[in-house]
Amino acid sequence: MREQRASLPGAVIAWVVAFLMFFPILWMLVTSFKTEAQAIANPPLIIFRPVLESFAAALSQSGYILFAENSIIVSLVSTALAIAIAFPAAYSMAFQPGRRTQDMLVWMLSTKMLPPVGVLVPIYIICRDTGLLDTRTALVIVDMLMNLPIVVWMLFSFFRDIPKDILEAAHMDGAGPRRQMIYLLLPLASPGIASAALLAIILSWNEAFWSINLTASHAGTLAAYIARYSAPEGLFWAKLSAASVLAVAPILIFGSLAQRRLVRGLTAGAVK
Amino acid sequence: MARLELHQVGKFYANFEAIEAVELTIEDREFVVFVGPSGCGKSTLLRMIAGLEEITSGDLVIDGVRANAIPPDKRGLAMVFQSYALYPHMTVAQNMGFALKMAGVAKAEIAEKVQAAARVLQLEAVLSRRPRMLSGGQRQRVAIGRAIVRNPKGFLFDEPLSNLDAALRVQMRTELVKLHQDLAATMIYVTHDQVEAMTMADRIVVLNKGHVEQVGTPLELYRRPANLFVAGFIGSPRMNFFQGRAARPANGGMALELAGGRTLQVPAAAGAVALGSPLTLGIRPEHLVLADAGPLGGQVDVIEHLGAETLLYVKDPIGGTIVVRTDDLARVRPGATVSIALRPDRVSLFDDAGKAISHATPD
């Protein structure tokens, strides 16, 4: 089939919208190479001599490595846990649905509609009383719970695309539920598992609310690291931008490498 | 070897009875076809035999052993699904060998058995391909191959040909019959297509709304249907039916008084049929003949020339259509008025409840 070519006005609109959406990131990137004075210049400077002093300051002053390490550990561990819990949950919902399965799916998603600040106080108190304040454990648990509904939904929709006949055929062939999971579901749903994991990692990486509220100097993630630059002593735009670039760069690179999988995962079930 | 006995086997869902008390024995090496309209429960019954659906009442006995609680893979039966249900990420060889792998059979032996089955099914050239690279017919063969490799006691087929085009369907039909002869295994085959049932079966089980209407050889069902449902379901075009009341004409014997005052002479029914009781007369299209003066008739609506035979669709003046199958390349044109006689020796009579009273047709 021949690919249809976009019309010129369509292409122009697409480029403008894309530029507008990308602009904040672009501006952040540009600002991160300015000095503090240049960063607050009005009108904004478009042409300037790029310097790396903000990066140097951000890296030297505030323990970037520790925060980055926390981000990596929290996002990976919380995602692994979420997948491990969601896989059997989605399996039973897709292949052995009960009368309330649909309700349960909707209810799970409804927890995502609750503003996090609504449960801040109880969760803070629970963390305080269990000694989990400012620990990675607390963030791992909270991020895992936060992403669980989405991961279950994604895996559920991937599983639902797998014809039931195939599992029944495997059953006739002597594969019980465990071997069906190993020999059929894991390979067949691996693109789905990969995209669910990618999305969970990205969401967890960028999660700021809980990171800022539940951690201090030990378990803070890169989101908390950025937040430090809007300190009482004032806003340092260039350093803030440099810190932000350092925080988003890993996930941006990771995301763009994994882009194809991610798009497939997000549109799963849309077309057969 | 597999002899299957179903004793009062039933299936209840929360609020309806999908299968009611089926009593059936399938002999070793028999080819039995379950046929019926969609939703009649034939697939459910097959899946109950397979073990994929729970049996809620009665007993399933395989080779003398009660099998209700035996898991599907331990029943010694292999199933071919309508959708083929091939494993999309595995090659043809892996698909066919999967059951053996699950059973812990050595790799060399698996390869050998897969090769043997592939030879029978002419799949040797595609063993390393994946299912999506195969044609519909090849996929069908892989599904059958997957069943053969297990060397099961019996084969269960769930509408296996319904996704194929007409020509391929006919070809696969003969291949399956041949396979049955070669493998000498018990086969149960589900279809809604009565032509498939007639051409393949040793015995046919006609199902309707969850119960068995009749069990018999294809010709038994065709010639001596137990009731109106079987009479109407088996045979294409379907049997002609005429409703009327039992009458006793002056010359003795028995007659059927049709609406509109016409009378059909019928062979005396066995047993007593009360005068005036409602009856349905059934006669196949090939047992109607164009005549100079017959008791039936009407205007020819449609003519279908099939080559070997011609079908006439005649508008009955009191309503309905009479189908006549003739090899007379009759100089009949659409719109012409014809007169039709029936062969009294081929008439079936059904009572008010639809049960057959008598068949003039010999066994």
Q: Do B83 and A165 touch (CB under 8 A)?
A: yes
Which chain B residues are Cβ-neighbours of A187 within 8 angstroms? 89
Q: Give the tens place of pLDDT for each residue, A204-219.
A: 998 989 998 888 888 8
Of the partner residues B77, B78, B87, the one whose CB lies closest to the CB of residue A166 = B87
| Mean pLDDT over the full length of chain A | 86
Which chain B residues are Cβ-neighbours of A175 within 8 angstroms? 73, 98, 102
- Structural domain contains residue A242: yes
- Structural domain contains residue A45: no
The answer to whether B4-233 and B240-359 have equal CATH topology is: no
Structural domain boundaries, residue A74 = 62-266
Reference A244, options A57, A58, A75; nearest CA is: A58
Q: Give the tens place of pLDDT for each residue, A220-245.
A: 888 888 887 766 666 788 888 888 89
- Structural domain contains residue A170: yes
Give the residues across from B311 on adjacent strands: B304, B325
Q: Do A171 and B78 touch (CB under 8 A)?
A: no
B24, two tokens:
């059936």
Of the partner residues B72, B85, B103, the one whose CB lies closest to the CB of residue A165 = B85
pLDDT above 50 for A189: yes
Q: Do A172 and B50 touch (CB under 8 A)?
A: yes
- Structural domain contains residue A50: no
DSSP string, B131-154: GGGS-HHHHHHHHHHHHHHT--SE
b/e code A239-253 from CB counts within 10 Å (16+ = b): bbbbbbbbbbeebee
Residue bearing tokens 């669910």: A196
pLDDT of residue B66: 95
CATH code for position A144: 1.10.3720.10
Number of domains in chain A: 1
Q: What are the backbone dihedrals phi and psi of residue B62, each rounded to the nearest 5 degrees, phi first?
A: -110, 120
Closest CA–CA distance from residue A174 to any residue of chain B (Å): 5
Q: Give the tens place of pLDDT for each residue, B236-268.
A: 899 999 988 888 766 667 788 887 778 888 776
Question: Is the complex ipTM higher than 0.85?
Answer: no
Chain A touched by B88 (CB under 8 Å)? yes
* Amino acid in the structure at residue B86: L
Which chain B residues are Cβ-neighbours of A184 within 8 angstroms? 87
Given pLDDT bands bounded at 50, 70 and 90, which one contains residue A45? Answer: confident
- Structural domain contains residue A44: no
Domain coordinates of chain B in residue numbers?
A: 4-233, 240-359
Closest CA–CA distance from residue A168 to any residue of chain B (Å): 7
pLDDT of residue A271: 39
pLDDT, greater one: B48 or B272 = B48
Chain B touched by A187 (CB under 8 Å)? yes
For the segment B178-182, the average pLDDT, to the nearest whole number, is: 91
* Residue B40: partners with Cβ closer than 8 Å, 6 or more residues away: B207, B208, B209, B210
Reference B323, options B243, B217, B240; nearest CA is: B240
Interatomic CA distance for residues B58 and A51, integer angstroms: 85
Residue pair B282/B347 in contact (Cβ under 8 Å)? The answer is yes
Could you tell me which chain B residue has the CA closest to the CA of A184? B87
For the segment A81-89, the average pLDDT, to the nearest whole number, is: 94
pLDDT of residue A122: 93
pLDDT above 60 for A266: no
Q: Give the tens place of pLDDT for each residue, B22-69.
A: 999 999 999 999 999 988 999 999 999 999 999 999 999 999 999 999
Interface of B with A in 127-166 (CB under 8 A): 146, 150
Closest CA–CA distance from residue A254 to any residue of chain B (Å): 27
Q: Do A169 and B79 touch (CB under 8 A)?
A: yes
* Beta strand residue intervals within A219-259, DSSP E: 230-231, 234-235
Reference B72, options B91, B89, B55; nearest CA is: B55
Interface of A with B in 155-174 (CB under 8 A): 163, 165-166, 168-174
Residue pair A238/A31 in contact (Cβ under 8 Å)? The answer is yes
- Structural domain contains residue A219: yes
Specify the CATH superfamily of domain B4-233. Answer: P-loop containing nucleotide triphosphate hydrolases (3.40.50.300)
- Structural domain contains residue A195: yes
Q: Give the tens place of pLDDT for each residue, B194-229.
A: 899 999 999 999 999 999 999 999 999 999 999 999
For the segment A249-272, the average pLDDT, to the nearest whole number, is: 67
Of the partner residues A166, A173, A184, the one whose CB lies closest to the CB of residue B99 = A173
What kind of architecture, by CATH, is found in domain B240-359? Answer: Beta Barrel (2.40)
Query: What is the percent of chain A where pLDDT is above 90?
Result: 36
pLDDT above 70 for B235: yes
- Structural domain contains residue A153: yes
Residue bearing tokens 């690179």: A253
Chain A touched by B336 (CB under 8 Å)? no
pLDDT of residue A272: 32
Q: Do B87 and A169 touch (CB under 8 A)?
A: yes
pLDDT of residue B318: 82
Residue pair B68/B55 in contact (Cβ under 8 Å)? The answer is yes
pLDDT of residue A269: 45
Given pLDDT bands bounded at 50, 70 and 90, which one contains residue B270? Answer: low
* Residue B233: partners with Cβ closer than 8 Å, 6 or more residues away: B35, B36, B37, B194, B206, B208, B213
Which chain B residues are Cβ-neighbours of A183 within 8 angstroms? 87, 98
Given pLDDT bands bounded at 50, 70 and 90, which one contains residue B232? Answer: very high
Q: Do A169 and B85 touch (CB under 8 A)?
A: yes
Q: Do B73 and A171 touch (CB under 8 A)?
A: yes
Query: What is the percent of chain B where pLDDT is above 70?
Result: 95
Q: Do A169 and B88 touch (CB under 8 A)?
A: no
* Residue B72: partners with Cβ closer than 8 Å, 6 or more residues away: A171, A172, B50, B51, B52
| Mean pLDDT over the full length of chain B | 90
